[in-house]
Amino acid sequence: MIKTILYLSFLFTFFIGCNAQEKVIANYIGYSFNSTKNSSYLSQELRFIKENRDTLKMNLKLPYDTISHNIINRGVFYNCHLKESVTYTFTLKKICASDIPEAFNSYYKTNIISDKKDCSKFTEIEKNTEYNYTGNYGKYVDINKTLYEIINISPDDGCIFQN
């Protein structure tokens, strides 16, 4: 009986820890584009000021067609185009690159090596791939070399939700 209770307690704690979400409240101040370690992607660095006045840099890896010099940028989450000087609340969940659906062509699947202890943390590696636009790129961001899935954004009046 005691073993069963301990086992269930462990399972519950593990489940809660794995599905933990973080809320980030920050004022959007702008963005810039940076190169990545893959010529078929650019990193859109979204810059925010948090409530404690710290700077937050959220990176969105976007497909880049080197032939036509075209960046496909549908925004974060579900086609959300952020407005400067607006305070947003993001609900984020740490994920592993393997959590991104197989059908999606993702920078995080080709250009990172996950940390062995915490698979949401990563090191970038150099690897060029051919341009291929498949996926919802705006749902996956990295902050300080940690991979997150955006679960929610508020306000969401700048978003276009598809049915």
40 within domain boundaries: yes
**Per-residue pLDDT tens digits for 102-113:** 878 899 999 999
Contact assessment for residue 58 and residue 146, using Cβ atoms and an 8 Å cutoff: no
Distance CA 119, CA 131 (A): 26
pTM of the model: 0.84
In the structure, what pLDDT confidence band is assigned to residue 135 with cuts at 50, 70 and 90?
Answer: confident
Contact assessment for residue 58 and residue 143, using Cβ atoms and an 8 Å cutoff: yes
Q: For all residues of the chain together, what is the average pLDDT? A: 88
Domain count within the chain: 1
1 within domain boundaries: no
47 within domain boundaries: yes
139 within domain boundaries: yes
- Residue 139 is part of which domain span? 21-154
**What pLDDT is recorded for position 8?**
53
In sequence order, the β-bridge partners of residue 70 are 65
**Per-residue pLDDT tens digits for 18-58:** 568 999 999 999 999 999 999 999 999 999 999 999 999 99
Highest mean pLDDT among 7-16, 119-128, 154-163: 119-128
Q: What is the average pLDDT across 121-138?
A: 90
159 within domain boundaries: no
Take residue 76 and report the two structure tokens written for it: 């974060």
Take residue 36 and report the two structure tokens written for it: 């990545």
Q: What is the average pLDDT across 138-144?
A: 95
Give φ, ψ of 8 to 5 degrees: -65, -40
Residue type, 148: Y
Residue type, 163: N
142 within domain boundaries: yes
Q: Is pLDDT larger for residue 134 or for residue 36? A: 36
